[in-house]
């Protein structure tokens, strides 16, 4: 058949049919029939390539015009049917277009994620690299390699969730990490000094919870090992961190503490925001809130990963993340962080 005639017939038929349609669903059927992949129009467009060159140009123009016409008819009809539908609903009193729309809830980063990123940024600017490690950990990395052998009383410092898995020797060697310190060993095993890393992540403790203690919380571990690192570097680095995070007016305090994998060991505390030192429920009446444990890496730990403690020294710290925003915003209970109450989370 002559292509011009075929197009004319197709146009008439398509326009006649669309004019008679009264529903959006039927319009979709019309679209598939006249504009779909298997439509006559698609056949015509495909056939253009086979036409002799002298006919191709005119036939191409006609076919493309048909395509445009069908597409614009489709859009016009769709708009007409939609407004008819709205008008009908309004007439029946089922649609009140003057009602305000329902706002969509907007997601945001969890407060902890925001603080973790902020802390990591501070340490990145001090030359540290960010790495992550496993939450299900071996006893070896969580305890033994950190100078805490089996049956050592220091294990009582970390009430542990053990994984229900027994090895051939009848031992349970797997646990949920109680701190991020196992990553000290993992990083040093894989790298030669100098090392400067921070390790953010979740840790777990089987403990009775209260306003400043959760059974799942975040820590950020820090480790720096090189020739000639001293306790002054530890203090300088952590004071600088506290200044950047809280501003120059906040007081920070170091006191002796014991951790088997450092010597000497310290704890760092910030003056309590709520009572500014007078003593309250949040700081257990001490005026201070402990935010991290730290110290010089123990020579035995260095030896275990084949670092020579006569050549290399280093410092490490482990920081409780939630205590940072607790101090900054005056949050009265750490348990609010992970109880999924949007009224709390939406504030940050």
Site residues (vs ligand FA5, CB under 6 A): 179, 181, 205, 207, 213-214, 217, 219, 259, 262, 265, 290-295, 316-318, 320, 322-323, 334
| Catalytic residue chosen out of the listed positions 116, 177, 197, 219 | 219
Neighbours of 202 (CB within 10 A): 14
Nearest approach in angstroms of CB 159 to ligand FA5 is 9
Question: Residues 177, 196, 205, 298: which is the catalytic one?
Answer: 205
Known catalytic residue at 328: no
Active site residue 116: no
User: 317 pairs with which residues across the strands?
Assistant: 222, 294
| Closest separation in Å from C-beta 208 to ligand FA5 | 9
Smaller CB distance to ligand FA5: residue 18 or 268? 268
**Least distance to ligand FA5 from the beta carbon of 126, Å?**
17
Q: What b/e readout covers 93-123, taking b as 16+ CB neighbours within 10 angstroms?
A: eeeeeeeeeeeeeeeeeebbeebbeebbebb
Annotated catalytic residue within 199, 262, 266, 294: 262
Active site residue 158: yes
Sequence length of the chain is 348
Instruction: State residue 175 phi and psi, 5-degree precision.
Output: -150, 170
Q: How far is the CB of 282 from ligand FA5 (least distance, A)?
A: 13
Q: How far apart are CA 339 and CA 335, in angstroms?
A: 7
Output 77 or 323, the one with its CB closest to ligand FA5: 323
Nearer to ligand FA5, 201 or 318 (CB): 318
Q: Considering the complex, state which of residue 133 and residue 320 has its C-beta at the smaller distance from ligand FA5.
A: 320
* Residue number, nearest CB to ligand FA5: 320
CB of 270 to ligand FA5, least distance (A): 10
Tell me the closest approach of the beta carbon of residue 97 to ligand FA5, in angstroms: 51
Of residues 41 and 198, the one with the C-beta less far from ligand FA5: 198
User: Partners of 21 in the beta sheet?
Assistant: none
Give ∠ CA 91-96-100 in degrees, rounded to 5. Answer: 165
Contacts 24+ apart (CB under 8 A), 274-278: 274/330, 274/332, 277/251
Q: Which of 195, 225, 297, 316 is catalytic?
A: 316
Q: Is 56 left (phi over 0), alpha (psi -120 to 50) or beta?
A: alpha
35 secondary structure, DSSP code? H
Which of the residues 179, 196, 298, 323 is marked catalytic? 179
- Catalytic residue selected from 158, 199, 225, 323: 158
The reply to whether 304 belongs to the active site is no
Q: Which two tokens stand for residue 181?
A: 């310190």
- Alpha helices by DSSP H, 202-270: 231-246
Whose Cβ is closer to ligand FA5: residue 40's or residue 215's? 215
Report, as residue numbers or ranges, the catalytic residues: 158, 179, 205, 219, 262, 316
């Amino acid at each position: 058949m002559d292509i011009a005639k075929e197009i004319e017939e197709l146009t008439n038929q398509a326009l006649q049919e669309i004019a008679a349609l009264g529903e959006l669903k039927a319009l979709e059927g019309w679209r598939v029939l006249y504009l779909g992949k298997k439509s006559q129009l698609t056949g015509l467009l495909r056939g253009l390539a086979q036409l002799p060159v002298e006919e191709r140009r005119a036939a191409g123009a006609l076919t493309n015009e048909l395509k445009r016409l069908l597409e614009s008819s489709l859009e016009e009809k769709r708009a007409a049917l939609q407004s008819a539908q709205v008008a009908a609903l309004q007439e029946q009193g089922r649609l009140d277009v003057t009602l305000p729309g329902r706002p969509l809830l907007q997601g945001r980063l969890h407060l902890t994620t925001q603080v973790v990123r902020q802390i990591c940024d501070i340490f990145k600017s001090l030359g540290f690299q960010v790495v992550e490690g496993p939450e299900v950990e071996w006893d070896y990395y969580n305890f033994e390699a950190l100078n805490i052998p089996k049956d050592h009383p220091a294990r009582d410092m970390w009430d542990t969730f053990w994984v229900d898995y027994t090895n051939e020797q009848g031992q349970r060697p797997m646990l949920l990490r109680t701190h991020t310190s196992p990553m000290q060993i993992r990083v040093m095993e894989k790298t030669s000094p100098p090392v400067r890393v921070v390790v953010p992540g979740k840790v777990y403790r089987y403990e009775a919870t209260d306003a400043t203690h959760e059974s799942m919380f975040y820590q950020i571990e820090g480790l720096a090992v090189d020739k000639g690192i001293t306790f002054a570097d530890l203090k300088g680095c952590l004071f600088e961190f506290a200044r950047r995070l809280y501003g120059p007016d906040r007081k920070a305090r170091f006191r002796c503490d014991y951790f088997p994998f450092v010597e000497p060991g310290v704890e760092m505390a910030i003056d309590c925001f709520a009572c500014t030192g007078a003593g309250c429920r949040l700081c257990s009446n001490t005026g201070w809130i402990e935010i991290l444990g730290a110290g010089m890496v123990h020579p035995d730990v260095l030896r275990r990963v084949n670092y020579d403690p006569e050549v290399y020294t280093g410092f490490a710290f482990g920081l409780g993340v939630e205590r940072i925003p607790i101090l900054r915003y005056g949050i009265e209970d750490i348990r609010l962080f992970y109880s999924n109450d949007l009224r709390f989370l939406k504030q940050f």
